């Protein structure tokens, strides 16, 4: 395992975000083979006990491999808010870091992640041509070129970015040249997470067709694993009108058990609604221009290099 080291007072924080069924948990488990990390779930439905299959909760085996936090916190009839999540997550991040491990937020509830990290600045979307030119300049003119340039236009940002972290250097320069605003000032204006954490955010970048196929297969697998039995058990103790029981997958299963939907109609409806939900998740999450979207398998080397630079320099 690679040792973690602290550069300044900011706590290092890895965030893996993305839509449902995109492989976030599997990615975190793979990274745990190289880094001593603990996962903090940012999933608004995995906080409920007894709701395991329909929320795609991590298995007991996976929890034995890597410690997971903020799952199975409350009963389905108990309230849980984004404020509760933030109040629990922040001290956990500090505790995990103090124990020499890497805190890793994993989830697709964008509101939870946004609230934890302090909000989203209104920064311009990326420009592929400008980004390519900046990368080329670093290669042609030599290492340190972009860091020196950033020092000229946004010294505050340059002080927080390692000269070898090309991804963040390019993003900071891109923001300046596209908007005329300094990224450091935008972050300060919106009380960005850099005030508390040294954050690296990744998201699995899947083709839409592949994501939808994964969603369809996951829904089928949930029913094969016994989702209907799980719902039957929950209905013995809980009102189907509870907020928790209105979770996607559960509410359709309840309708099937009431005789309102045929089995295949129920499965198809859940698949369709889950694809729609994933689309909304992506729309929300892609608003954050600091998230780096990568192929988590093919680009694993790039991911690990970025983690090394940010958390071990």
- Do 44 and 175 belong to one domain? no
Residue 60 is inside which H or E element, if any? Answer: helix 60-65
Residue 271 has pLDDT above 90, yes or no: yes
Total residues belonging to the chain: 313
Question: Angle CA(117)–CA(119)–CA(125) in degrees, nearest 5?
Answer: 110
d(CA 284, CA 44): 15
d(CA 308, CA 242): 44
Domain assignment present for 6 = no
For residue 54, the model assigns a pLDDT of 97
For residue 126, the model assigns a pLDDT of 62
- Do 70 and 200 belong to one domain? yes
What's the gap between Cα 44 and its chain centre?
12
Question: What's this model's pTM, rounded to 2 decimal places?
Answer: 0.73
In the chain, the number of structural domains is: 3
> What secondary structure letter does DSSP report for 2?
B
- Do 98 and 202 belong to one domain? yes
Domain assignment present for 1 = no
Residue 243 has pLDDT above 60, yes or no: yes
- Do 295 and 263 belong to one domain? no
- Do 159 and 201 belong to one domain? no
Domain assignment present for 4 = no
Average pLDDT, the chain: 88
Of residues 81 and 73, more confidence is placed in 73
The predicted-structure confidence for 279-297, as pLDDT tens digits, reads as follows 999 988 888 888 989 886 6
**CATH at 51:** 3.40.50.300
Domain assignment present for 43 = yes
- Do 45 and 100 belong to one domain? yes
- Do 299 and 184 belong to one domain? no
For residue 188, the model assigns a pLDDT of 66
Which range is least confidently modeled, 88-102, 111-125, 182-196, 236-250? 182-196
**33: how many CB neighbours lie within 10 A of its CB?**
9
Nearest to residue 218, comparing CAs of 282, 256, 271?
271
Residue 192 has pLDDT above 60, yes or no: no
Domain around 72: 11-122+194-207+290-312
Reduce the DSSP state of residue 218 to 3 states and report it.
Answer: helix
Of residues 158 and 268, more confidence is placed in 268
**CATH at 136:** 1.10.20.140
- Do 199 and 238 belong to one domain? no
The predicted-structure confidence for 32-68, as pLDDT tens digits, reads as follows 999 999 999 999 999 999 999 999 999 999 999 999 9
d(CA 22, CA 16): 11
For residue 161, the model assigns a pLDDT of 84
**CATH at 249:** 1.10.287.890
- Do 26 and 82 belong to one domain? yes
Domain assignment present for 114 = yes
Residue 254 is inside which H or E element, if any? Answer: helix 250-257
The predicted-structure confidence for 143-168, as pLDDT tens digits, reads as follows 999 999 999 999 998 988 888 878 77
Residue 284 is inside which H or E element, if any? Answer: helix 263-285
- Do 239 and 106 belong to one domain? no
Residue 212 has pLDDT above 80, yes or no: yes
Domain assignment present for 5 = no
End-to-end, the C-alpha distance of the chain in Å comes to 16
Question: Angle CA(203)–CA(190)–CA(86) in degrees, nearest 5?
Answer: 60
For residue 268, the model assigns a pLDDT of 98
- Do 266 and 159 belong to one domain? no
Residue 109 has pLDDT above 80, yes or no: yes
Domain assignment present for 294 = yes
- Do 151 and 176 belong to one domain? yes
For residue 1, the model assigns a pLDDT of 44
Domain assignment present for 236 = yes
d(CA 84, CA 78): 12
Give the mean model confidence (pLDDT) for residues 121-146. 81
Give the mean model confidence (pLDDT) for residues 212-235. 98
């Amino acid at each position: 395992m690679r040792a973690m080291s602290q550069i300044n007072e900011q706590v290092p924080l890895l965030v893996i975000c993305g839509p449902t069924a995109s492989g976030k948990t599997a990615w975190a488990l793979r990274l745990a083979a190289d880094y001593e990390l603990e996962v903090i779930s940012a999933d608004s439905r995995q906080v409920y006990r007894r709701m395991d299959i329909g929320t795609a909760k991590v298995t007991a085996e996976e929890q034995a491999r890597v410690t997971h936090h903020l799952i199975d916190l409350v009963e389905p009839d108990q309230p849980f808010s984004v404020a509760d999540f933030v109040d629990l997550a922040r001290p956990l991040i500090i505790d995990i870091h103090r124990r020499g491990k890497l805190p890793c937020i994993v989830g697709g509830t964008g509101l939870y992640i946004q609230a934890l990290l302090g909000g989203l600045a209104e920064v311009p979307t990326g420009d592929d041509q400008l980004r390519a030119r900046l990368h080329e300049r670093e290669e042609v003119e030599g290492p340190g070129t972009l860091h020196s340039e950033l020092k000229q236009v946004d010294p505050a940002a340059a002080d927080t970015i390692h000269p070898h972290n090309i991804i963040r250097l390019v993003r900071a320069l891109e923001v300046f040249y596209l908007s005329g605003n300094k990224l450091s000032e935008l972050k300060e204006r919106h009380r960005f997470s850099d005030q508390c954490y040294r954050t690296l955010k990744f998201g699995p970048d899947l083709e839409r067709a592949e994501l939808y196929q994964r969603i369809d297969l996951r829904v089928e697998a949930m029913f094969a694993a016994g989702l209907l039995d799980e719902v039957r058990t929950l209905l013995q103790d809980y009102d189907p009108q509870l907020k928790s029981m209105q979770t996607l997958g559960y509410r359709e299963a309840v309708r099937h058990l009431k005789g309102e939907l045929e089995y295949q109609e129920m499965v198809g409806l859940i698949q369709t609604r889950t694809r729609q939900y994933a689309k909304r998740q992506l729309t929300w999450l892609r608003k954050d221009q600091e998230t780096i979207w990568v192929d988590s398998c093919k680009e694993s080397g790039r991911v690990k290099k970025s983690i090394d630079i940010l958390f071990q320099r």
